[in-house]
Amino acid sequence: MTSFLMARFAIAQCQLGRLKMLLATLFATLMLITTDVHAAMSLDKLVADKQLQASVSIDTPSELYQRAPFTLSVEVATARWFSRGTRVRDFRIPGAVVRPVSSFADNSSRRIDGETWSVQRWRFRVFPQDAGLLTIPGIRVFVSVNTATDGAVEGELLLNPISAQIVAPPGFENLSTWIASPSLSIEQRWEGLLDNYMPGDAITRTRSFVVQDAPGMMLEASQLVETPGLSLYAAPAKVVDKSNRGTLTGTRTESLVITFEAPGQYRIPGLDYVWFNTNTGTLETVSLPELEVEVLAAEALPHKQKERFDLTRRPPLIIGSASALLLALLLWFSRNSRPSRTIRSALERRLQRRRSCSAYLRALQSQDTARCIQLLYQQLAESGSQRQLLDAVRTVKPNPERSKNSPDRPQSPEHSLRLLLDHAYGKGITLPNKKAARELWNVVSGDSIHKDDASRLELNPSAS
């Protein structure tokens, strides 16, 4: 009898456990269904009960011009208060550039139907690029509201799309490059300006564009005009945007290095920058002057300027040996004779070449490649060649004795020159070794280039 009662008790306990498990599963299922329905309907119910409002609007009251910014506002308001606030999901407007006014929403309160509502407003600057109808697609907004009975209710609202009519400013219908802004300023400065220039000299032009209520990316780059005899290198522009209490300032800074490769008269163009003043509604132009430069050959420079390049005007070196001293005395006593002048001229050229070569190698060691190029141009001018540096080096035939069975043959002069030019203009980091650089120097300062120029046959020589 006792065993029978124990068996009945065990069966009852097992059935009770199964019943508890069934009730727990049913309760969890009901809670999940209730929560899903509640989450799906919460925001819509708040909107239907007039406890939540969300809208998108254009705050700029005046006519909307092409490329001129207008303010787009996304506003969410509730009769309760925001639990985790609101966030506007990323969105794009085809045919326009969009920039947020700030990283945070503007918080305020408003009386609606006798109640105080909490309001959060997000603002965006929109820059329409073309005239015509601009469509702003539906924008998704995350909302978290604290309710009286259901606690925090969260979700997303999809706002209705809107459209705006964009018109071209008067007088800009046929223009392709301009910017719209309440304020635009352009500053231009030059570095390296001299009274006279020779091949190898370089100057730097820097332009700074500052625009209000527009990002720097909206500023068009200055056009480069290729001119024979000038080498142009444009450094990457620096574009910076700054926002201070909702005021956007865009800056674009350009640097252009201009190297003179040959003698002549050059005119570096100025700038006429057209823009639309949104304050006055008129077309305005910022003009920058052009620069006229004359580049002279070394022998045509004035005396004071030529001393900058003519190393022969330095005091003579002290001759240490007795034979050199004797030769100097002989030259002194016969200084007015033609042979003496010829020898003295040859010695001066030799001394000048050595000094220039030493300066060239020192500049290479300190990675002052701009100085290297300048000294190479000087030697090319001294050789009497009228060619540009790269063309002159190309005309020199390679030495077959050097290229034959020489695995350690130095780099070719043309390759070495390209390495120097790339480094000087910021396009490369590799430099030729000392042996290759000296070979390039010997080629440029040698007589082969001069002889090649003198022996060319010109069918229509220009008047000298």
pLDDT for 450:
45
Contacts of 16 (CB under 8 A, 6+ apart): none
Phi, psi (rounded to 5 degrees) for 368 = -90, 75
Top pLDDT among 136 and 327 is at 136
CB atoms within 10 A of CB 422: 16
* pLDDT at 314 exceeding the cut of 50: no
List the one residue out of 105, 92, 86 whose CA is nearest residue 157. 86
pLDDT for 302:
57
List the one residue out of 249, 262, 220 whose CA is nearest residue 237. 220
Is 283 strand, coil or helix?
A: strand
CB atoms within 10 A of CB 449: 22
E strand or H helix at 443:
helix 434-445
List the structure tokens of 219.
């500023």
The position carrying tokens 């124990």 is 6
> Confidence band (pLDDT; 50, 70, 90) for 249?
very high
Query: What percent of the chain has pLDDT above 90?
Result: 36
pLDDT digit string (tens) for 336-345?
Answer: 666 666 766 6
- As a CATH number, domain 179-295 is 3.30.2000
> Confidence band (pLDDT; 50, 70, 90) for 328?
low
The domain locations on the chain are 52-166, 179-295, 310-317+326-454
> Confidence band (pLDDT; 50, 70, 90) for 379?
confident
Residue 51 and residue 427: Cα distance in Å, rounded? Answer: 63
Asked if 213 contacts 279 with a C-beta cutoff of 8 angstroms, the reply is: no
* pLDDT at 103 exceeding the cut of 50: yes
Phi, psi (rounded to 5 degrees) for 114 = 80, 0
- 182: which DSSP letter? S
Top pLDDT among 385 and 120 is at 120
The whole model's pTM is what? 0.56
* pLDDT at 92 exceeding the cut of 70: yes
CB atoms within 10 A of CB 261: 21
pLDDT for 136:
96
Q: Any long-range contacts for 308-314 (C-beta under 8 Å, 24+ apart)?
A: 309/198, 309/378, 310/352, 311/351, 311/352, 311/355, 311/356, 311/359, 312/348, 312/349, 312/351, 312/352, 314/355
Asked if 453 contacts 384 with a C-beta cutoff of 8 angstroms, the reply is: yes
pLDDT for 35:
42
Written as one letter, the residue type at 207 is: R
Query: How deeply is 344 buried, as exposed, middle or buried, from its count of CB atoms within 10 A (0-12, 13-18, 19+)?
Result: middle
List the one residue out of 67, 74, 56, 181 whose CA is nearest residue 123. 74
pLDDT digit string (tens) for 1-53?
Answer: 555 555 565 566 666 666 666 666 665 555 544 444 344 447 888 888 889 99
The position carrying tokens 């305020």 is 108
Class of domain 52-166: mainly beta
Residue 208 and residue 273: Cα distance in Å, rounded? Answer: 13
| Average pLDDT taken over every residue of the chain | 79
* pLDDT at 464 exceeding the cut of 80: no
- Interior/surface letters 66-88, b for 16+ CB within 10 angstroms, e for the rest: bbbbbebbbbbbbbbebeeebbb
Asked if 182 contacts 279 with a C-beta cutoff of 8 angstroms, the reply is: yes
Residue 78 and residue 85: Cα distance in Å, rounded? Answer: 11
Residue 363 and residue 380: Cα distance in Å, rounded? Answer: 18
Residue 296 and residue 199: Cα distance in Å, rounded? Answer: 7
pLDDT for 385:
62
pLDDT for 374:
81
| Least reliable range by pLDDT among 82-96, 347-361, 427-441 | 347-361
Beta bridge partners of 209: 186, 252
List the structure tokens of 299.
């022998």
Phi, psi (rounded to 5 degrees) for 389 = -60, -50
Residue 202 and residue 212: Cα distance in Å, rounded? Answer: 33
- Strand 179-181 and strand 271-277: the pairing is parallel
